Amino acid sequence: MQYVSTRGRAPALDFEGVTLAGLASDGGLYLPAEWPRFTADEIRGMRGLAYPDLATRVMAPFVAGSLTDDELLAICHKVYGDFGHAAVTPLVQLDQQHWLLELFHGPTLAFKDVALQLLGRLFETFLARRDQRLTIVGATSGDTGSAAIHAVAGLERVEIFMLHPKGRVSDVQRRQMTTVLSPNVHNLAIEGSFDDAQAHVKRMFTDADVTSVLNLGAVNSINWARLMAQVVYYFASALQLGAPDRTVAYSVPTGNFGDVFAGYVAQQMGLPIERLIVATNINDILHRALSQGDYAADGVTPTITPSMDIQVSSNFERLLFDAGGRDGAALAAQMHAFEDTKAMHLTNTQREGAGALFASARADQTETARALQWAHLAAGQVIDPHTGVGLHAARALADAGTIPAHVPLVTLATAHPAKFPDAVERAVGMRPALPARVGDLFGREESLVELAGDYATTRDYVLGHAGNA
Ligand SMILES: *Cc1c(COP(=O)(O)O)cnc(C)c1O
């Protein structure tokens, strides 16, 4: 499989190349040169497969030429054999129409584990082949950092420096990072805000003093391999609900548009998806773009769903490219104009292409809390606030008739409620407990270094400690 950039100028790469590259050299994002497609019979033949076997079937076309089916299968068994639920991503029924797809049974209790655990193994495999090492530098305000650390802890050829704003992540989030004591994991608590930490990371990627000695890598959701891994659970859940002989709809709590774009990919591959609901909190740039064609950045307001507090959605570019007719030069011009003015209008082709499959809705804090209460009272399920945003959107669009009553409607449960205990307690009056498998989080030793807020201090620390793992 060959991959092309959304901006049309970077060289085409194979799967190994795009996994290690992340962002394309022209500033664009990689996508497969064409979508692999399964027939209805092929999809029917996937019924009943265990998750690692299903994952191998779904992902095999994307990795062709870089991994054999046997290599992929061995990786999938290793990665998904360690999840806290034998089904990996189990479905839970809420009422006649509504379902939850639990994506939080990985080590850090959020859906990002499903993809990052795989990415860590892919890095290790490809780096061994090339006899290279990789130094991952990232900044986190919470979820991504812990999932990335757990994905690479103990790997031989990868080390990670994860910056977080000192004192500004929750205790659970910090401990999920700092209690991983592998020598290849470095937690840096930086004075200042998340944006300051993020700025240090960006600067390191363009600082020749760093890039001349270290092979730097990133793990953010623009990496194609992460999206690919997320396609699998759309297949797993739709198959259980009767696909390909019945259509299924999804509601996806959305931030950077990675998770919901994976649903779009599943549909391109032949999975009969009725609708994908893009559910946003009050930071609703995507809802405005999909409902009015108007994509305009507008500052970020902090909410009880911090993983969806985004100003712009990096993966939206992939949809604009694919739904807009795959014209890299035109998209590059559109994106450059957006970078200057922080606003753009979708073309008619882009709006029609997106409108055929996507619907959208937003939830404010009151609506989110009410969705948590409904899940608790009507179905006995304690859900996290991000999932609550998705459930609110699902119920609103089912009530409005956008999703017909006979179509099963699956809300992606993106985090375990115990990751956000304060907001959950305020909504439903009880404090969710951490699952037993992470239960001693508060008894474990922590490892982190505290650094002053200036760039040079962070850079010198990374340079001084890299390669010692
Ligand atoms: C990252 C995250 C999201 C948003 O997912 P995207 O792929 O960025 O759209 C939603 N919920 C939780 C809990 C997350 O960690």
Output the pLDDT for position 468: 52
pLDDT greater at residue 170 or residue 210: 210
Percent of the chain with pLDDT over 90: 86
Ligand 1 atom nearest 415 alpha carbon: 13
The confidence band for 437, taking pLDDT boundaries of 50, 70 and 90, is: confident
The confidence band for 206, taking pLDDT boundaries of 50, 70 and 90, is: confident
Average pLDDT over residues 294-316: 90
Pocket test for ligand 1, best of 101, 111, 223, 372 (most atoms within 8 A of CB): 111
- Please tell me the residue having the least CA distance from ligand 1 atom 14: 307
E strands, 48-104, in order? 91-93, 98-102
57-79 pLDDT, tens digit per residue, is 999 999 999 999 999 999 999 99
User: Chain centroid to CA 194: how far?
Assistant: 19
Ligand 1 atom nearest 255 alpha carbon: 9
> Could you tell me if residue 362 is inside a domain?
yes
Cβ contact 309:300 at 8 Å: yes
Three-state DSSP class for residue 16: helix
Phi, psi (deg, nearest 5) at residue 440 = -90, 20
Output the pLDDT for position 202: 85
Q: What is the full DSSP assignment across 198-230?
A: HHHHHHHHT-HHHHTT--EE--STT-HHHHHHH
User: In total, how many domains does the chain have?
Assistant: 1
- Please tell me the residue having the least CA distance from ligand 1 atom 8: 256
107-142 pLDDT, tens digit per residue, is 999 999 999 999 999 999 999 999 999 999 999 877
* Torsion from C-alpha of 234, 116, 108, 419, nearest 10 degrees: -60
Mean pLDDT for all residues in the chain: 95
Average pLDDT over residues 38-48: 98
Cβ contact 347:378 at 8 Å: no
> Could you tell me if residue 367 is inside a domain?
yes
What distances in angstroms separate CA 267 from CA 38, 179, 390, 401, 453, one per listed residue?
10, 39, 19, 21, 45
412: pLDDT strictly greater than 80: yes
Three-state DSSP class for residue 430: coil
Average pLDDT over residues 430-456: 92
> Could you tell me if residue 18 is inside a domain?
no
334-389 pLDDT, tens digit per residue, is 999 999 999 999 999 999 999 999 999 999 999 999 999 999 999 999 999 999 99
Ligand 1 centroid, distance to 411 Cα (angstroms): 13
Three-state DSSP class for residue 368: helix
Task: Determine the angle formed by the axes of helices 258-268 and 316-323, rounding to 10 degrees.
Answer: 30
- Catalytic residue, chosen from 78, 112, 342, 419, is 112
The confidence band for 220, taking pLDDT boundaries of 50, 70 and 90, is: confident
469: pLDDT strictly greater than 60: no
Tokens of 120: 């860590």
Ligand 1 site residues (CB inside 6 A) read 110, 112, 143, 221, 253-259, 307-308, 386, 414-415
| CA–CA gap between residue 452 and residue 374 (Å, rounded) | 45
Output the pLDDT for position 131: 96
CB under 8 Å to 399, separation ≥6 — which residues?
none
Ligand 1 centroid, distance to 307 Cα (angstroms): 5
User: Chain centroid to CA 19: how far?
Assistant: 15
> Could you tell me if residue 266 is inside a domain?
yes
| CA–CA gap between residue 224 and residue 192 (Å, rounded) | 31
> Could you tell me if residue 412 is inside a domain?
yes
112 is catalytic: yes
> Could you tell me if residue 408 is inside a domain?
yes
229: pLDDT strictly greater than 70: yes
Output the pLDDT for position 376: 98
Note the helical H segments in 153-193: 171-178
> Could you tell me if residue 414 is inside a domain?
yes
* CATH number of the domain residue 289 falls in: 3.40.50.1100
Pocket test for ligand 1, best of 227, 308, 317 (most atoms within 8 A of CB): 308
> Could you tell me if residue 77 is inside a domain?
no
Output the pLDDT for position 300: 86
82-96 pLDDT, tens digit per residue, is 899 999 999 999 999
Output the pLDDT for position 198: 86
Q: Which domain holds residue 244?
A: 91-110+224-428
User: Chain centroid to CA 122: how far?
Assistant: 16
Average pLDDT over residues 31-41: 98
Residue type, position 355, single letter: G
Average pLDDT over residues 273-293: 96
